[in-house]
Amino acid sequence: MTTRPYLLNEVSWKTVKETDYEVVILPWGATEAHNYHLPYTTDNIHTEYVSAEAARIAWEKGAKIIVMPVIPYGVNTGQLHIKLTINMNPSTQLAILEDIIDSIVIQGFKKLVILNGHGGNEFKPIVRELKPKFKEIFICVINWYEVVDWAKYFDDTGDHAAEMETSIMLNIAPGHVAPLSQAGKGKTKKLIFRDQGFDFVWAPRDWEKISGDTGAGNPAKATKEKGVKYLKESIEKIADFLIELSKTSPDQLYV
């Protein structure tokens, strides 16, 4: 059996024992409804794929990367009314992340990349809270879907089950995509204050009130080809960072 030495899902203790991994990647997704045409685990499928491919490219260039199993649940407090959408509160994320970091710090790891694939996950305040306890490890966060501007490849830049996410799934997991003729148009309502000139106000979206099909953005123009191009640029940029991180000493992170 051929295993990929940069995926913890596939390697044994023998491989781990013999390999001096330099960077740990923790993919984090969500389980939530994605319109009528994409699976609930879309964010997990995307994030696992991006993590694995970025690690592969970095590994082939000499960087010793290990990708942890994906955390499949994220913050979905605004979608609790949608059947089988699973919410993980930020406080729970903090507790889980603290246990994971505690484990890898004991084992001597010095660099952790949280590769986030869900817009509801906000790791900045969590990492800020944990950093004083774990001064010996560098912790950074990449929202992989923000690495490349969506407008470069997609006509509709809706942020949930729309053209971008659908194009990626048509590329990496087409068997999980229902015919686009079955998809809702992802029409959403916006906070009323946006029309009153208060663009500086933020509030979490109540999905029961803003979307009739759980989508935000129209997937109609999604294609496999768009997904290929967008993913290629995103993954290559992340891989380049992983290579640089792997060879950068923890004592030389600031210039």
How many Å apart are CA 71 and CA 48, to the nearest integer? 10
The answer to the question of residue 185 being in a domain is yes
Give how many domains the chain has, as a whole number: 1
The answer to the question of residue 214 being in a domain is yes
Give, in degrees to the nearest 5, the angle at Cα 65 between 21 and 52: 150
How many Å apart are CA 70 and CA 51, to the nearest integer? 9
The answer to the question of residue 4 being in a domain is no
The answer to the question of residue 183 being in a domain is yes
- Domain membership of residue 23 as a residue range: 13-197+204-252
pLDDT for the residue 74: 98
The answer to the question of residue 109 being in a domain is yes
pLDDT for the residue 1: 65
Q: What is the pTM of this model?
A: 0.96
CATH number of domain containing 128: 3.40.50.10310
pLDDT for the residue 2: 82
C-alpha closest to that of 21 among 80, 65, 56: 65
- DSSP codes of every residue in 4-42: -TTBTTT--HHHHHH----EEEEEE--B--BTBTB-TTH
The answer to the question of residue 6 being in a domain is no
The answer to the question of residue 52 being in a domain is yes
The answer to the question of residue 1 being in a domain is no
Strand partners, 65: 23
Q: What is the pLDDT along the chain (255 residues), one digit of tens a residue?
A: 689 999 999 999 999 999 999 999 999 999 999 999 999 999 999 999 999 999 999 999 999 999 999 999 999 999 999 999 999 999 999 999 999 999 999 999 999 999 999 999 999 999 999 999 999 999 999 999 999 999 999 999 999 999 999 999 999 999 999 999 999 999 999 999 989 999 999 999 999 999 999 999 999 999 999 999 999 999 999 999 999 999 999 889 998
Alpha helices per DSSP H over 36-123: 42-60, 90-106
